[in-house]
Chain A
Amino acid sequence: MLTRRKFIKISALSAAALSFGAGSLSLLAKANKDPYALKKFSRFPTYCEVCFWKCAGWTHVDESGKITKIIGNEIDTHSNGRFCPRGTGGVGMYHDTDRLRVPLIRVKKGEEQTFREATWEEALDLIASKMKHIKEKYGSESFALLKHGSPGKHMEHLFKAYGSDTIGEPAYAQCRGPRETAFSTTFGEWVGSPEPTDIRDTKCLVLIGSHIGENMHNGQVQEMSDAIDNKATIIVVDPRLSTAASKANFWLPIKPATDLALLLAWIHVIIEEELYDKKYVEQYGHGFDDLKVHVQNMTPEWAYGITTIKPDIIRKTAREMGHASPAVIVHPGRHVVWYGDDTQRGRAVAILNGLLGSWGRRGGFFFPEGLSIPKYPHPKYPKPNWSWETLAEKYPLAEMGITNEIIRSSIPGEAQEGHLVKAWMVAGTNLIKSIPNKRLIEDAMNAIEFMVVVDTMPSDIAGYADVVLPECTYLERYDGIRSASHRHPSIALRMPAVKPKYETQPAWWMAKQLGERLGLHDYFNYKDFEEVLDWQLKQIGSSLDEMKKIGVKNFDRKEGNLYLAEGEIFEFNTNTGKIEFYSTELEAKGFDPMPKYTPHPQPPQGFFRLNYGRAPMHTFSRTVNNPNLHDLMDENVLWLNPKAGKILDIKDTQYVWLKNQDGILSTFPIKVRLTERIRWDSVYMVHGFGQTNKSMSKTYGKGAADTEMITNIMTDPIMGGTGMRGNFVMLLSENPHKTDTKNKKVI
């Protein structure tokens, strides 16, 4: 956040610039220009690629052909015409002078390894020859795709055509996977994205560690603001006074890692005091009586000893939910891989919603509807002999590729017999920051034969590639149609506002080029992506020409209502056709059919629990070098309670290094922020900083990386999620990387 302190510093700097007379010349140039005259813009439709929310808007280009600003499209359901800071700052992604410019190929000069610039022909030929080689020697399945976002989609098509479905993305096992399994075992449906939470009409919003407002999930932030206007009750459970907690009517500063006990106590009170939606539970619920017995001893008094939340507050907040029922949302959260029992915690959240009757109800969860976009015709994909599913077999309810299992399967000795991964393509995700346990990734990268990275920026992961393909930014390319699943279906177009800078290319082009080199012409039977889009759009009653003008097109619902009608006969997509308070599916797979509280380790003496989260102006680790967003937050800081600071004699703004329970040291130091907003037993930092690639000139070495400290992974046995909140750090005032004078040895 830009503060006045920084502002003053900058004023002083610019005064110095003035004394060199830099100003006077340009002032003359400015003399005849009316600064308030209106500029003429052309605008081009796009949808944002900075995060996953995919807000639709307009890229504005001025008369000189420069991208100046991006503004939301008013008829877009994801943004309602208002972009978040990252979307508004998306221009910085285009202007960033550190961008990848040309294809790079790793070369060895003696012992030294370095990148040399290459032509597209060379780079693509090399990748195609490696893909052929891997296919012949090990089978296509051994070439894995680790991906995110739009480039990932184009590459997924290439990989499936090539014969590999060894595909995974961190968005599942490192993020929202557990909640999807939890909700599908309860309601028979994933929560999905954007979440179909009817926040604007809710009477009670309950957030469990979910920091809306710091996570800038646009629609959620906008609707939470509507909920504040509507005087909805907001209940926030968080060991930290998050922004959302500061807006809440009830903030429950819970002892970290004990949320499940609180959720069970809430279920207890809601059943005990008959606050649940009786008709709804009777008509749609399965296993209510078992649940009642299951939670009978899980009283608020029991939970108090675990969570430190007072019994009367637990009762009072449960009553708030009960009185608001069914217009209540116990939010499923998004990044929910915390302690390894995350599916079960998600189940408790889902059960609460089921008891309160909020699924399919106004002010609870609506039934979203999207438009299915027909696929551009191509032959059937070949069936691979094994895939991500094979690698995820030990997690019976895994529903998407588990990135870390694909990575593990790249290490001989760790991989299953006959399922060794030998090469990777990494597209649109900085794995080094998105996957915990760097050691595992490094071992895997050392073991594989070949690795390609597709990115717009020289991210940490790019530094490990054999070939780096420079992608143009989303403002310079076409991508697939964004089909939004929301209160009503809608589609959005992304088209280039300007030509790609440098020698960058869109991912659809790279995929097609590689496909053609691999003899997969039938899968890429088009001249360019405009042809694909126009064909697809015409199938659904629009066209590329129309979409270029309007950017977003909304459609009426066709498949049923937004909410359940009173007493409506409805079959849920579970084994029993009901909302399963008692999960038959979990039981069949040998898991607890109803969630149980398991204690998790608390930090040992001298250590703090490491919590991490988002800042509104950054996302993943891909925005930290963006000039506009770097301007808003140029490093992350370590939140520490002043009491703890006093005991450790650590001052505000002092830099410290971190050492975790496994003795892992942070590469870079991080600045301490003493604040009353955090509990004394935990520290907090924003994710995504501590970039190790020097080519990211603005952000290199600024702040520390949370992922680096996350070496204790608590894996969810149900779906394979990597629980990351069980790591503890110590704060070091002295640089542990300094020369050790006693041993005269550089560490």
Chain B
Amino acid sequence: MRYAMVIDTLKCVGCSDCVVACQTENDVPIGYCRDWVVEAVAGKYPLVEIELRSERCNHCSNAPCVRCCPTGASHIVEGGIVLVTANECIGCGACIESCPYDARYTHPEGYVDKCTFCYHRVKKGELPACVSVCPTKCMYFGDLDDESSEVSELLKKRKHKVLAPEAGTKPNVYYLI
């Protein structure tokens, strides 16, 4: 099983609902975030385009954060979800430095925190909070090892990209473009 998120940038309006939903679902303190929205602008008026996308931990198959963690706090569980065990984390920040996506932050309580793909919900068969709230339904979540899953079908059908492929991390968040 390999969990992945597929995000359709053609539908995303950049509203940041995913960010608030994550914040309230996961009790992320005010002033911090596990996911965020990026607006990329290209061209000159009036020949100008924008891309809006919701970003987060890519739950990489080749995760540098897990490799560099000195205590084993950063680890991978079923479905390839990358997690941090708060009480094993010493807050050294090595993982923060190693992440090409800048997806981790130090929680005010001292440990490193990040997106969990809403592991607690996924275990129950529910969708991550961000996916379930998105008003444009531009976010999809599922198992890439299952060829008939919605996410697999979308990647077969649609043009897509990942972020920072050059980092060789094998990210599991895909963007439809």
Contacts and interface: CB of A to CB of B under 8 A. Distances in A.
B110 A1 contact: no
Contact of B102 (A8, A69, A84, A91): A8
Contacts of B91: 18, 23
B44 A7 contact: no
Interface string B60-103: 00000000000000000000000000110001010010000010
A451 B32 CA distance: 40
B16 A23 contact: no
A31 interface: yes
A746 B31 CA distance: 37
Contacts of A23: 91, 107-111
A207 to B, nearest CB: 13
B45 to A, nearest CB: 5
B168 interface: no
A17 B110 CA distance: 8
Given A4-B38, A632-B16, A676-B41, A225 B137 contact: yes
Contact of B108 (A22, A71, A246, A675): A22
A225 B96 CA distance: 35
B45 A641 contact: yes
B155 interface: no
Interface string B22-60: 011101001111001111010111101110100000000
A675 B19 CA distance: 24
- How many residues of B sit at the interface, in one of the four size bands? 35 or more
A680 B46 CA distance: 10
B43 A676 contact: yes
A679 B46 CA distance: 8
Contact of B110 (A18, A72, A616, A678): A18
Nearest to A9: B31
A82 B16 contact: no
A502 B31 CA distance: 25
A30 interface: yes
Contacts of A585: none
Nearest to A678: B45
Given A27-B110, A68-B27, A3 B135 contact: no
Interface string B7-30: 000110111110111011101001
B155 to A, nearest CB: 17
Given A24-B110, A253-B45, A85 B50 contact: no
A70 B172 CA distance: 28
A225 B13 CA distance: 9
B17 A84 contact: yes
A222 to B, nearest CB: 5
Nearest to B51: A246
A214 B14 CA distance: 8
Contacts of A68: 24, 27
Nearest to A225: B136
A241 interface: yes
Contact of A1 (B16, B21, B48): B16
A27 B45 contact: no
A222 B137 contact: yes
B14 to A, nearest CB: 6
A158 B132 CA distance: 41
Given A221-B136, A222-B136, A617-B16, A11 B106 contact: yes
Interface stretch (A33-41, A178-186, A530-538): A33-41
Given A10-B31, A18-B110, A243 B14 contact: yes
A1 B33 CA distance: 11
B18 to A, nearest CB: 8
Nearest to A218: B135
A89 B23 CA distance: 9
Contacts of A70: 24
B19 A632 contact: yes
Interface stretch (A334-342, A469-477, A574-582, A623-631): A623-631
A628 B30 contact: yes
Contact of B105 (A14, A35, A617, A675): A14
Contact of A15 (B93, B111, B124): B93
A677 B31 CA distance: 28
Nearest to A680: B45
A627 B24 CA distance: 12
A35 B120 CA distance: 8
Contacts of B116: 36
Contact of B135 (A26, A91, A216, A678): A216
A82 B15 CA distance: 13
Contacts of A61: none
A88 interface: yes
Contacts of B37: 1-2
Contacts of B119: 36
Interface string B123-149: 110000000111111100000000000
B135 A222 contact: yes
Interface string A198-233: 000000000000000110101001101100110000
Q: Point out which of A1, A83, A253 has the most chain B C-beta atoms below 10 A from its C-beta.
A: A1
Nearest to A1: B37
Interface string A54-89: 000000000000001111100000000011110011
A675 B24 CA distance: 32
Contacts of B107: 14, 23
A82 B30 contact: no
A668 interface: no
A247 interface: yes
Nearest to B37: A1
A82 B136 CA distance: 9
Nearest to B11: A225
Contacts of B38: 3-4
Nearest to B22: A88
Nearest to A213: B13
Contacts of B44: 676
Contacts of A22: 108-110
A722 B86 CA distance: 56
5 contacts: A3-B38, A17-B110, A26-B110, A82-B135, A676-B48
Shortest 7 CB-CB contacts between residues of A and residues of B: A23-B110, A213-B13, A616-B15, A225-B136, A69-B24, A85-B17, A253-B46
Given A38-B120, A216-B135, 6 more contacts: A26-B109, A26-B110, A83-B135, A225-B11, A225-B135, A631-B23
Interface of B: 10-11, 13-17, 19-21, 23-25, 27, 30-33, 36-39, 41, 43-46, 48-50, 52, 86-87, 91, 93, 96, 102, 105-111, 116, 119-120, 123-124, 132-138
